[in-house]
Amino acid sequence: MSNTKIICFANNKGGSGKSTTCSNVAYGLTELGHKVLMVDGDMQMNLSLAYFDEDKVLEFASGGKNLYEAVKNQKDLTDYIIRTPYENLDLIPSSTLMSSIEYELFTKWQREFILKKCLQNIKDSGEYDYILIDAPPTLGGWVMNILVASDGLVIPVEASPWGLFGLANMFEFLGAVQQISPELKLMGIAVTKVDTRKNYFKQTMETLKELDDVHVFENFIRVDSSIEWAQDNSVPVVAYKKSSRSAKEYMELTKEIEGLWQ
Ligand SMILES: Nc1ncnc2c1ncn2[C@@H]1O[C@H](COP(=O)(O)OP(=O)(O)OP(=O)(O)O)[C@@H](O)[C@H]1O
Ligand SMILES: [Mg+2]
């Protein structure tokens, strides 16, 4: 049996920090000595943009080598892997056509398991220590595919009044997925875009800690302009500015995530 762990970053709330967290934890895991494959599951292609410039990302989208084409045609994803500029860090890019993936899945046999099957050979090969999947801000057949393909789920939550709204829907959805994929584990909630000067942050943390059986990662991520500059340059924040606060926070969060499976 392979030791590859598949972790997805999902939350139906848009802008909660899924892509930022997925891209930076992926890089963080390579810094800890792991080999990582990232899978961009969103038509916005933000995970792909975290590592490649716009021209390159649009090239992925228009060429045949992207997640949409593979899932639509139920292909082994091994042939869709792209090397990033970083050692031990690879990517399966997305496509803007991902917007019609729900339609494509609709008529397929065992449609909740298609992504899992497309990833099976990569997982079985044991080539990667981790596969990290970035989900779009929706709950439906495609996100169900992402969750079913995963061993663990991290829910990034923005520390804002609306950041918590909708979390109940996410838990309900997770419960439904666990009925067909009981081994899927909720690893925890990662709190992002925190402004510690605001009292609202404390209230968010207290509300989250009151949730039964839900782990909240100790290392939260503060609002930091280094994140935006890093994204503007298509590099992870740890590579952009190792001394920045968010680089350190993402490394600590990565260690916490790594620690859950050791
Ligand atoms: N710690 C941070 N400090 C400053 N800006 C941040 C931080 N984290 C994320 N952002 C910014 O917030 C926005 C939303 O982040 P991100 O794209 O990671 O969220 P998302 O959940 O993936 O969004 P979507 O639901 O659209 O996929 C982005 O513009 C990103 O640059
Ligand atoms: Mg995103």
Report pLDDT digits (tens) over 149-166: 999 999 999 988 788 888
Distance 183 CA to ligand 2 centre (A): 25
Q: Is residue 228 part of a domain?
A: yes
* Distance of alpha carbon 165 from alpha carbon 142, whole angstroms: 22
Ligand nearest to the CA of 13: 1
- Could you tell me if the CB of 223 is within 6 A of ligand 1? yes
In a domain, 64, yes or no: yes
**Does the C-beta of 22 come closer than 6 Å to ligand 1?**
no
Q: Burial level of 107, CB count in 10 A (0-12/13-18/19+)?
A: exposed
Long-range CB pairs of 200-206, under 8 A, 24+ apart, other chains included: 200/159, 200/160, 200/161, 201/159, 204/157, 204/159, 204/160, 204/163, 204/164, 205/159
Residue 261: inside a domain, yes or no?
no
- Answer yes or no: is the C-beta of 204 below 6 A from any ligand 1 atom: no
- Distance of CA 39 from the midpoint of ligand 2 (Å): 12
Domain-located, residue 13:
yes
231 lines ligand 1 (CB under 6 A): yes
Per run of 10 residues, the mean pLDDT along the chain (length 262 residues) is 93 96 98 98 97 95 92 97 98 94 90 97 98 97 98 94 85 96 97 89 88 93 97 97 97 97 72
Does some domain include residue 219?
A: yes
Query: How many CB atoms within 10 Å of residue 100?
Result: 13
Report yes or no on 81 lying in a domain. yes
Token pair belonging to 229: 């500059």
Token pair for 220: 């939260």
Q: Measure 261 CA to ligand 1 centroid, in angstroms.
A: 26
pTM exceeds cut of 0.85: yes
Number of domains comprising the chain: 1
> What spacing in Å lies between the alpha carbon of 25 and ligand 2's midpoint?
14
Domain for residue 262, yes or no?
Answer: no
Cα–Cα distances (Å) from 110 to 45, 64, 145, 170, 196, in that order, read 26, 24, 10, 22, 45
Domain residues for the domain of 97 are 5-256
227 pocket-lining for ligand 1 (C-beta < 6 Å) = yes
Output the domain CATH number for residue 180.
3.40.50.300
**Residue 110 within a domain:** yes
Answer yes or no: is the C-beta of 12 below 6 A from any ligand 1 atom. no
Q: Is the CB of 166 inside a 6 Å radius of any atom of ligand 1?
A: no
Q: What is the pLDDT of residue 262?
A: 66
Choice from 9, 13, 20, 198 to test ligand 1 binding pocket (greatest atom count within 8 A of CB): 20
Would you say the CB of residue 44 lies under 6 angstroms from ligand 1? yes
Ligand 1 site-directed mutation target among 9, 11, 13, 19, most atoms within 8 Å of CB: 19
pLDDT confidence of residue 163: 81
